[in-house]
Amino acid sequence: MMMKYYIKTFGCQMNERDSEKIESILQESGFEKSNLKEADVIIVNSCAVREKSEKKIFSEIGRIKNINKKAKVVAMGCVAQIYPEKLSKISDVVLGTTSIYDFKNFFNKDLRDFKAIFVSNQIINPDYIFGHLKKPTAYIDIIYGCNNFCTYCVVPYTRLREISRSYKNILQEINNVVENGAKEVILLGQNVNSYNFDGVNFIRLLEMINKIDKLKRIRFVTSHPKDFSEDLAIAMSQLDKVCEHLHLPLQSGSDRVLRLMRRKYTFKEFAKKVEYFRKYNPKGSITSDIIVGFPMETEDDFKQTIKALEEIKFDEIYSFKYSNRPFAKASLMPNQVSDEEKAKRLNIIQNLQSKISEQINKSYLNSEHEVLIESKAKISNQMQARTRTNKIVNIDNTYFNLKEGDIVNVKITKINKHSFNGEICIN
């Protein structure tokens, strides 16, 4: 009988990619995906970016053990990297972010001696090319780790120092996924703009990837504002496969708070980067991240964030209440903002952003866009697709035969809160 696995992933795209690596290792060993109840191996991939996300791995493992007592449990990801001992008490294998290659060498079908802790102080074999599942969009790691040490952030401790992967291996990996049917890649890194391998920088890397024949689209996350340049804005407009969407995390509109966060830019400098992007990519979209209630954030600082959102007009923001993190300097700062006040501020900016997003999205009505079909939509007979500007479009497929990976032109016919409806343009 085939052995089975179940995997649960919390957190960012890097975690999703790491989970996919584990799935490909398991599948190569003859395991198949199943539900929680029937699994022989259960993997939980954890996120440590906020306190609330960190707690999830503990409650998830508790839940799992209630439903399936016999399965072996692997606790992996960012929480595993910083708290291996704590997790080894409730799981069989602890797997840090550094050690997926070690897990590959360790893993086999015989689960009798399935007990180990894999955590290292450096990433093991960062160049290794792990497998991918068959999908229209493939995540590709290009740079691991982070050297920025923003004072609120745990990531430099969970993902360690920056290390770029060899461009030869990146190109090889992209060729592999494209041969397997992928049409789009999303290049991943905490700070993709600081990619550098043997003198090849991020722009050179994009130029190389842009030449891959069967590949149709290139996206990337995340750009640190301090490293986003006019040259990159130009490259984005000139390289036909690079999509016109930029995720540029602002965090706060107050220069005082930005300094306390150690973000290394002022609001004015940030606005200049947005101006570059829009100058060369006038139809492009910009999204951002905002933290409210950073220690010592006054009412006036918060007003600066509101002003910044009104001025820049992002297409969408991901906004968070500040959360104290282990190792991160800000957790030692005085004048922590109360949870009640943070909730109030979060609510204010989310309401403001809804209005701004609604305004921007309205301008899409009746316009035509190229979309990539990603999957079946929740509503039957509909497919879910994405514009180059990262907007989700649901398309009625009753009279068509659209498949995952198809690229078609659609006319936007309806604007919903988090997606559009579109009709195929027949030329």
The residues that touch ligand SAH, with contacts defined as CB under 6 A, are 49-50, 152-153, 155, 190-191, 222, 224, 249, 251, 289, 291, 320, 322-323, 325
Q: In sequence order, which ranges of 89-201 are alpha helices (DSSP H)? A: 100-106, 155-158, 167-179
Of 103 and 294, the one with the shorter C-beta distance to ligand SF4 is: 294
* CB closest to ligand SAH, residue no: 289
> How far apart are the C-alpha atoms of 111 and 36, rounded to whole Å?
17
Out of ligand SAH, ligand SF4, none, what residue 289 binds, judged by CB under 5 to 8 A for its kind, is: ligand SAH
> How far apart are the C-alpha atoms of 129 and 277, rounded to whole Å?
32
Who's near 210: CB < 8 A, 6+ residues apart? Answer: 218, 239, 240, 241, 242
Strand-pair category, 217-221 with 184-188: parallel
CA dihedral 357, 362, 365, 371 (to 10 degrees): -10
Of 40 and 54, the one with the shorter C-beta distance to ligand SAH is: 54
From residue 165, how far is each of 139, 183, 198, 316, 344 by CA, in Å? 14, 22, 10, 30, 42
Give CA 219 to chain center in angstroms: 11
Out of ligand SAH, ligand SF4, none, what residue 156 binds, judged by CB under 5 to 8 A for its kind, is: ligand SF4
Could you tell me the smallest distance in angstroms from the CB atom of residue 317 to ligand SAH? 9
Of 152 and 267, the one with the shorter C-beta distance to ligand SAH is: 152
> How far apart are the C-alpha atoms of 225 and 276, rounded to whole Å?
12
Q: Using DSSP, state whether 181 is helix, strand or coil.
A: coil
- Considering only CA atoms, which of 234, 232, 211, 238 is closest in space to residue 220? 232
Out of ligand SAH, ligand SF4, none, what residue 323 binds, judged by CB under 5 to 8 A for its kind, is: ligand SAH
Of 80 and 248, the one with the shorter C-beta distance to ligand SF4 is: 248
* Contact between residue 246 and residue 279 where contact means Cβ atoms under 8 Å apart: no
Could you tell me the smallest distance in angstroms from the CB atom of residue 231 to ligand SAH? 20
The DSSP symbol for 329 reads G
> How far apart are the C-alpha atoms of 100 and 107, rounded to whole Å?
10
Out of ligand SAH, ligand SF4, none, what residue 78 binds, judged by CB under 5 to 8 A for its kind, is: none
Could you tell me the smallest distance in angstroms from the CB atom of residue 152 to ligand SAH? 4
Could you tell me the smallest distance in angstroms from the CB atom of residue 78 to ligand SAH? 10
Of 39 and 47, the one with the shorter C-beta distance to ligand SAH is: 47
| Residue 167: count of CB within 10 angstroms of its CB | 18
Could you tell me the smallest distance in angstroms from the CB atom of residue 191 to ligand SAH? 6
Of 96 and 293, the one with the shorter C-beta distance to ligand SAH is: 293
Could you tell me the smallest distance in angstroms from the CB atom of residue 296 to ligand SAH? 14
Q: Tokens in use for 22?
A: 């584990």
> How far apart are the C-alpha atoms of 8 and 423, rounded to whole Å?
35
The 3-state secondary structure of 227-240 reads HCCHHHHHHHHHCC
CA dihedral over 175, 196, 127, 264, signed as positive or negative:
negative
> How far apart are the C-alpha atoms of 329 and 311, rounded to whole Å?
30
Could you tell me the smallest distance in angstroms from the CB atom of residue 132 to ligand SF4? 24
Question: Element (H or E) spanning 116, and its range?
Answer: strand 116-118
Residues that bind ligand SF4 (CB under 6 A): 146, 148-150, 153, 155-156, 190-191, 224
Out of ligand SF4, ligand SAH, none, what residue 57 binds, judged by CB under 5 to 8 A for its kind, is: none
Could you tell me the smallest distance in angstroms from the CB atom of residue 159 to ligand SF4? 7
Q: Using DSSP, state whether 245 is helix, strand or coil.
A: strand
Out of ligand SAH, ligand SF4, none, what residue 149 binds, judged by CB under 5 to 8 A for its kind, is: ligand SF4
Out of ligand SF4, ligand SAH, none, what residue 50 binds, judged by CB under 5 to 8 A for its kind, is: ligand SAH
Could you tell me the smallest distance in angstroms from the CB atom of residue 191 to ligand SF4? 5
Of 88 and 148, the one with the shorter C-beta distance to ligand SF4 is: 148
Of 46 and 190, the one with the shorter C-beta distance to ligand SAH is: 190
Out of ligand SAH, ligand SF4, none, what residue 293 binds, judged by CB under 5 to 8 A for its kind, is: none
Out of ligand SAH, ligand SF4, none, what residue 320 binds, judged by CB under 5 to 8 A for its kind, is: ligand SAH
> How far apart are the C-alpha atoms of 102 and 81, rounded to whole Å?
14
Out of ligand SAH, ligand SF4, none, what residue 273 binds, judged by CB under 5 to 8 A for its kind, is: none
Could you tell me the smallest distance in angstroms from the CB atom of residue 190 to ligand SAH? 4
